Amino acid sequence: HRRERNIAAQVKNRLPQRMLDLLKEAGELGAEIGWEVYAVGGFVRDILLGRPNLDLDLVVEGDGITFAKRFAAKLGGRVKAHSKFKTAVVILDDGQRVDVATARLEYYEYPAALPTVELSSIKMDLYRRDFTVNALALRINPGRYGQLVDFFGAERDIRNRTIRVLHSLSFVEDPTRILRAIRFERRFDFQIGGQTMRLIKNALGLKLFSKLSGTRVMHELQSIMNEGDPLACLLRMQELGIMEAIHPLLSLDRERIQILTELVKVHNWYKLLYLDPAVVPWKLYILGMTAGIKRDEIGQVTGRLHFTQKEERDFLHLRDMIGEALMKLMGWKEGHSRLSRLYKILHPIPVEGILFLMARSRKEYIRRNISQYLARLQYVDIEVNGKDLKNIGIEPGPIYTTILDRLMTAKIDGRAETRHDQLNLAKKLNKELSASLESENGD
Ligand code: ATP
């Protein structure tokens, strides 16, 4: 019988009290119903690694949905059940989510006189997972609380900082695991194990990637873009020939690597400032990954990655806007050009596009001014609105848009900072615009 190490002390040291309470409650509920309950996957891995992870995944040797309902009733919360997969999500009243899965007890009936054996169902559940480091379980029922269930040598692999699959058909079963291997390897600064690396190369040799749906590739790519260091993963993918395997146009040349390097820098800068709106990482990095691809070829990539129609339309539009803005920015000279001109160039562009422009600009003063735009200019608002224009006697009509636009321009250029200045300017503009309209009509 395997010896199970007890890590209750580490669990206690590395998790907040609220999480410890949840584990205890879940274990006690399991004991009450008579089912064994485990915390599993990344949650357990990250306890051993000493990395905070509050995504709690439970596996119940029993019925996960029933367990989830009773857990929610006990602690206060609601349940979203997926009966097809026998899984459920509990959303507790404080917003904490707990995923619950079912490991069914399976009985193997042998013919003739041999007895029926009960296979440990947690072992079956863990065996379906991707890597040893993700195939750990932690007992939480009272009496066995804190015992680490490690069938596949995960602790040793964590100690040796190795990503290893559980069996040799793993990548054939699911080639997206290749991208997951790279993601975990780079995130934890681990190494993909020797045999696992041979299996990856074998899977690539069998062209398993070409059979993979665009939706699944894109999903994994998005997870990669959400990592702290997406470029490290992309470079590893390039090194292994995975970019080409996804689509030949996606191969990373020096130019793209240089752009992606700059993108990571501006993205980190933006994250540090906690600015709004939030950046969607894949929308940013896909611009770098596809830099230099011609307009009539880009459809091959969006098609391969199975963009939705809207995603494709938005992406093409963004690329066009960036191209146009790059031209206009070449003519923008600090000290000579107005700030409002920069505002007009950048304002229609989503933040991912603006960060891309910043990363692409070679002139230091352009980068500096774009950063000014993101940090301050984009939020500028004027102190008067349509109601104010009405109150000072301006006849409502399309002229309002023109006047409010000009007030904004004036404010950005420092010519009408206060409400008072803006109202005066509005009156003046109204006179000028009305006069010019009249003269037009009189012609
Ligand atoms: P993260 O820290 O990125 O959330 P995680 O390990 O929790 O890491 P998830 O993608 O949330 O990763 O997956 C949860 C668990 O499901 C993993 O720990 C892994 O055991 C299992 N899993 C996810 N995807 C696969 C897959 N493609 N093949 C096998 N097992 C998988």
d(CA 35, CA 39): 13
Is residue 443 over pLDDT 60? Answer: no
The candidate with the shortest Cα–Cα distance to 266, out of 366, 335, 333, is 366
For 438, the domain range is: 386-442
Under the banding of pLDDT at 50, 70 and 90, the label for residue 436 is: confident
Tell the residue nearest (CA) to atom 18 of ligand 1: 41
Place of tokens 């070409």: 210
Residue 170 has pLDDT above 90, yes or no: yes
Q: Give the total number of structural domains in the chain.
A: 4
pLDDT over 60 at 348, yes or no: yes
For residue 370, is it left (φ>0), alpha (ψ between -120 and 50) or beta?
alpha
One domain, residues 234 and 273? no
> Ligand 1: which of 87, 133, 134 to mutate, most ligand atoms within 8 Å of CB?
134
Confidence of residue 51 (pLDDT cuts 50, 70, 90): very high
Confidence of residue 304 (pLDDT cuts 50, 70, 90): very high
Q: Show which of 349, 379, 409 is a domain's final residue.
A: 379
Q: Token digits for 359?
A: 């990363």
Q: Provide the residue type at 269 as one letter.
A: W
Regarding whether 345 and 224 lie in a shared domain, the answer is no
Choice among 133-142, 252-261, 324-333 with the minimum mean pLDDT: 324-333
- Residue 278 is assigned to a structural domain of this protein: yes
Ligand 1 geometric centre to CA of 96 (Å): 19
Q: Letter for the amino acid at 402? A: T
Global ipTM: 0.96
Atom of ligand 1 nearest to the CA of 42: 6
Nearest atom (ligand 1) to Cα of 223: 3
How far is the centre of ligand 1, averaged over its atoms, from the C-alpha of 131 (Å)?
Answer: 9
Residues 270 and 365 in one domain: yes
Whichever domain contains 190, its CATH number is 1.10.110.30
Q: How far is the CA of 403 from the centre of ligand 1 (A)?
A: 55
Kindly tell me if the per-residue pLDDT of 116 is higher than 80.
Answer: no
Atom 5 of ligand 1: nearest residue by CA position: 42
Give the residue from 134, 160, 186 where a domain finishes.
160
351 and 411 in a common domain: no
Last residue of a domain, one of 184, 214, 246: 246
Beta-ladder partners of 163: 192
Answer whether 180's CB lies under 8 Å from 170's CB: no
Of 52-61, 144-153, 427-436, least confident by mean pLDDT is 427-436
* Same-domain status, 241 and 266: no
pLDDT digits (tens, 9 = 90+) for 276-294: 889 999 999 999 999 999 9
Q: Is 129 in the pocket of ligand 1 (CB under 6 A)?
A: yes
pLDDT value at 115 more than 70: no
How far does residue 42's CA lie from ligand 1's centre (Å)? 7
